[in-house]
Amino acid sequence: MKKLLALLAAITLLTSGCSWFSRVEPAVDISELTELASPLASRVNWSRDVGEGTDDEGVRLVVSLDGSTVYVANYGGTILALNSQSGSTVWSQDTGIDLAGGPGAGNGLVIAGSTEGDVIALSQSGGAESWRATVSTEVTSVPAAGNGIVAVHTNDGKIVGLDSATGEQRWLFHRAPPVLSLRGSGTPVFEGDALFCGMDGGRLVKLNASSGIPVWETPIAYASGRNELEQIVDIDGKMVLAGNTLFVTSYQGDMAAVNKSDGKVRWRRSFSSHQGLASDGVNLYASDSNGHVFGISREDGSILWKQEVLAGRQLSPVVVVGSHVAVADLEGYLHWLSTADGRIVSRVRPVSSKVSAPLVTNGSSVYVYGEAGELASVSPP
């Protein structure tokens, strides 16, 4: 069995005086993959190189899907729009800056943030630059667009509301981050005139999207432990919004179901993940910090099943496609699990590098972005 070299691979000092850990690795051995018995077939539809990827910088560059177009960025500053069926280039734009977060897509814009606090918005239709803005520090979250606002969550605990037409600042929400936190910030999520976002320190906020005024703030996780490392309780991963409830999970903290209206916690359970959650409309699914994958009841947070054979493999956020949960790992393998019982039913290797970016699906394909800059489309089994 291979041994993990460290729980956290690197520590970097922010100019704001706050330190963060650039990489989270499970404190367990890396499981070796074994041959599957009677695996179902999963096909790679296309794959291509989109540049230098994340360049091993610990940045949060992702795949965004809007309609029939896939948007992706690399650390070197290029943002591409690709045909989701063929992978062919629709347009490509060199921004001239080192990108750290994004791209987000919506409201006719493709938005990304840089290592120096630049925010750039391009036209979805042709890639022409719409505007640029500057925020206080590096943007390692995915900017979100909605309700005439582009919301940008910076590494120093600020959520900035920019006018989606001009890039001018409309409002600013700020909560000082803890001394230590994970590298990266929670991605804002719009729902009508509401904006939800997870914060470093384990708090969840709901803002008025037009004004940035907080509607409520709720602690999801509480810092505990004997030292500052054990007290990191950030909310960085994907949230699930369903009906009147928001489902969220934190690193070294809790998973919780929260009322959207008033922020009241309906249930919570101990769960550590910086990757977030996925749902099939009935249950929740998540990978935890040790590389275990879970099926979880939305009603009360009870564990329906647990799959441990991928322990230590530094799993990506999960995504649900039909009756399967897809998750990728540190070697570029994509694993398909049954939503019914967590059995691994198929495996394919669409990229050769680690996958830390969230998997994205249009319902018929999953898009996998490797850290070395490989992007692939995969059909479910």
Confidence bin at 27 (pLDDT 50/70/90): low
Q: Given a cut of 60, is residue 15 above it in pLDDT?
A: no
**155-203 confidence digits (pLDDT tens):** 899 999 999 999 999 999 998 776 655 566 789 999 999 999 998 888 9
The token duo for 287 is: 């990978």
pLDDT of residue 320: 98
C-alpha 300/C-alpha 285 separation (Å) is 14
pLDDT of residue 17: 38
- For the chain, the average pLDDT equals 89
Least confident window among 50-64, 216-230, 234-248: 216-230
Enumerate the domain spans of the chain: 11-379
**122-144 confidence digits (pLDDT tens):** 999 999 999 999 999 999 899 99
* Per-residue DSSP letter, 137: S
Q: Where are the alpha helices (DSSP H) in 193-351?
A: none
Higher-confidence position of 183 and 104: 104
Are 246 and 260 in contact by the 8 Å Cβ rule? The answer is: yes
* Per-residue DSSP letter, 30: B
As a whole number, mean pLDDT of residues 96-101 equals: 95
11-379 homologous superfamily: YVTN repeat-like/Quinoprotein amine dehydrogenase (2.130.10.10)
As a whole number, mean pLDDT of residues 96-105 equals: 95
Least confident window among 169-173, 217-221, 301-305, 343-347: 217-221
C-alpha 329/C-alpha 32 separation (Å) is 12
**264-294 confidence digits (pLDDT tens):** 999 999 998 888 999 999 999 999 999 999 9
Phi, psi (rounded to 5 degrees) for 104:
-95, 155
Are 257 and 267 in contact by the 8 Å Cβ rule? The answer is: yes
Q: Given a cut of 80, is residue 8 above it in pLDDT?
A: no
The token duo for 148 is: 């005439």
At 337, which amino acid appears? L
pLDDT of residue 24: 53
The secondary element (H helix, E strand) that includes residue 227 is: none
pLDDT of residue 135: 97
Buried b / exposed e over 177-210, threshold 16 CB at 10 Å, is bbebbbbbbbbbbbeeebbbbbbbbbbbbbbbbe
